[in-house]
Structure 1
């Protein structure tokens, strides 16, 4: 009995040592995620983070080998609160922590300043949602995006406003952010190119709640359409005040207002067919089932519906890992060339980039809202 009692601890120690050895052989690869987790855009930022987190969890669950070595991915998530200064601080923190890729940021106004930090460190950055053209026009080889940019989105919406909705007079409001101002400017170009007229240009900010002054000024111009360049947290209350002032113009916007959260933010002011917006991405019919399956898995995992960018963050993460596998390395300098020539079949479409880092053949999806729910109008390019 005494001999047996000594053997049990030895066996336990041996098992522990073996387990520790196996764990030691598993390489941990850190991937960063940055988005606003606090502030008015927090619901969209968490959606971004959740998409990347789902990808990491799925990759770890099925097991991934790179260069003959079993790896485990770890997501390091940071909050930039939609603030450029906080964004650069978060970017530097991730660089210091040793991430080999970053999925983010959400907003153009945070993505652009952070991109220089990642470029200087040689770390690939793939944004699932930043649409301002300037992001990929800086010449950074590390900057990529998986959605169409504002030039494409704004032009399509501007053409649609005049040619399909019959809007001859259009008022434009933006929130002075890199995203809001950028998409509003491109929309105005599209309207003018289609023969429409911009009768008013106003601006607010991304934390405003009172729009009576600018809306009263716009009401006097009697526009057919009001376009808002900004996010749903501002767009929803703006719709409410439009209704209070008796403004019956169509309300248009980019992907910032084209979310599942807009009905709750706008309430009864949403109306049927009053809002037309575009999402900087689009899924053709052939891929529809894959997206629906993803949405179901997402809801099961997080207990909430997809807001907007989750599937794009999921695809961005997987495209990065696919590049690592092809390069047989997770070192940024070695896998970056493979990422640049990606041809990854994602949920949202094929992830392939042009020389600047923009998505090739970027699609757009036009939506309206009926009965408090978002309904697709068309997928276009």
Structure 2
């Protein structure tokens, strides 16, 4: 368990002072108040994800303050929400330990984990102890395909992203000469395979597909093959480091008629640097689950509030974290219960306009109609090209 930083503590103190409903809930007879503890699991101690985790923690503080200000009731009693921050360090082993502690505690629900690997390992424990959990960032399809009734997700997954990108690749030309390459990882093969499904469903054709070791010594052979076979678009299922090598080699060999496409693995701010130039990166289209906060229905107002409270910009999953807390609370309100086994089934009936978009879950626990963003690179900057909903390709 992690203690909130001083800015969050100061914020909560201010909220207590300015919201009489919270003060009344705290001062009321304990018999008239139900404490609702939500475990909020992030990789706070992981140095590569610390900022992402802190953003999520800040958003949780906003959500809890708003829920307590609303004075929600269940079973005739006022609900007082509390976010308990817990740290899985982005480690699968630690995630299991955290899940076991949560199952032994008196928690009403879980928001987390952020990584696919940690979420997959923790999910069976939440199923066993019947505690609903909502991940706001983990995109591996296995999380909701495993049949766990307690697993929910507030972001589109990799398989749907791959198929959507296949639709995008063929939207302007069914005869485009497309090649597919992946890095032999689970993620790379998964998104590449689903990209090919999307191309085929959209009436396009794949010229060739292959795999290459994630840390291949050089892209020269691949780029030569692109030239020899007249490829117009290469889809790469992998990460930005190797994608950057491809782009560098394409520029070196003066291959300026081949577009590079990929999923969130290549869709990084540093891709132009890895590619060697902004011009080289201009050949890229890439996709991610979710939308930038400025393109969310209620994102602008939320981002302004977040900046006012924490003097920081929303960059990752703050809006989804806020919505996850609201979804759990909405299910409790529908069920008139904070008992996890009692309200869990009501999560499937929850529907509301969240900060990040329409919140409603399908039978697996995925969003009914998730949004995806396709980006391009202009003058070395990653910018939005277009937003899509999954319904656009159904």
TM-score, normalising length: structure 2:
0.76
How far does residue 137 in structure 1 lie from its aligned partner after superposition? 2.0
Q: Which residue of 2 aligns with 1:336?
A: 344
Distance 1:125-1:265 versus aligned 2 partners, 3 A rule: farther
Q: State whether structure 2 residue 249 is matched by structure 1 residue 245.
A: yes
Q: How does 1:128-139 map to 2 (within 5 A)?
A: 128-139=136-147
Q: How does 1:240-279 map to 2 (within 5 A)?
A: 240-247=244-251, 249-258=258-267, 261-262=269-270, 266=274, 269-271=277-279, 273-279=282-288
Could you list the per-position Cα deviations for residues 201-258 of structure 1 after superposition, in whole angstroms to 9, with x for gaps in the alignment? 2242xxxxxx56153443232254444445xxx52x4454445434565343324554
Q: State whether structure 2 residue 225 is matched by structure 1 residue 218.
A: no
Aligned equivalents of 1:300, 1:198: Cα separation in 2: 51
Aligned equivalents of 2:70, 2:266: Cα separation in 1: 36
Contact 2:248 2:275 in 1 (8 A): no
Aligned equivalents of 2:262, 2:58: Cα separation in 1: 25
Q: Which residue of 2 aligns with 1:196?
A: 206
Uncovered stretches (5+) of structure 1, i.e. residues with no partner: 1-17, 205-210
Aligned equivalents of 1:162, 1:20: Cα separation in 2: 58
> How many residues are paired up?
351
How far does residue 123 in structure 1 lie from its aligned partner after superposition? 0.3
How far does residue 309 in structure 1 lie from its aligned partner after superposition? 2.6
Contact 1:132 1:182 in 2 (8 A): no
Q: Which residue of 2 aligns with 1:187?
A: 195
Aligned equivalents of 2:220, 2:52: Cα separation in 1: 30
Q: Which residue of 1 aligns with 2:361?
A: 353
Q: Which residue of 1 aligns with 2:28?
A: 22
Distance 1:288-1:87 versus aligned 2 partners, 3 A rule: closer
How far does residue 142 in structure 1 lie from its aligned partner after superposition? 0.8
Q: How does 1:354-369 map to 2 (within 5 A)?
A: 354-369=362-377
Aligned equivalents of 1:49, 1:175: Cα separation in 2: 34
Moved more, 290-299 or 53-62: 53-62
Select 1:323's aligned residue among 326, 331, 347. Answer: 331
Q: Which residue of 2 aligns with 1:117?
A: 125
Aligned equivalents of 2:321, 2:344: Cα separation in 1: 18
Contact 2:178 2:205 in 1 (8 A): no
Aligned equivalents of 1:20, 1:99: Cα separation in 2: 19
Contact 2:134 2:151 in 1 (8 A): yes
- Give the 3-state SS of the residue equivalent to 1:213 in structure 2: coil
- Give the 3-state SS of the residue equivalent to 1:358 in structure 2: coil
Aligned equivalents of 1:226, 1:301: Cα separation in 2: 44
Contact 2:184 2:212 in 1 (8 A): no
How far does residue 147 in structure 1 lie from its aligned partner after superposition? 2.6
How far does residue 187 in structure 1 lie from its aligned partner after superposition? 1.9
How far does residue 63 in structure 1 lie from its aligned partner after superposition? 4.0
Distance 1:293-1:122 versus aligned 2 partners, 3 A rule: same
Aligned equivalents of 1:35, 1:217: Cα separation in 2: 41
Contact 1:147 1:359 in 2 (8 A): yes
Instruction: Say what the alpha-carbon RMSD is for the aligned residues.
Output: 3.4
Q: Which residue of 2 aligns with 1:11?
A: none
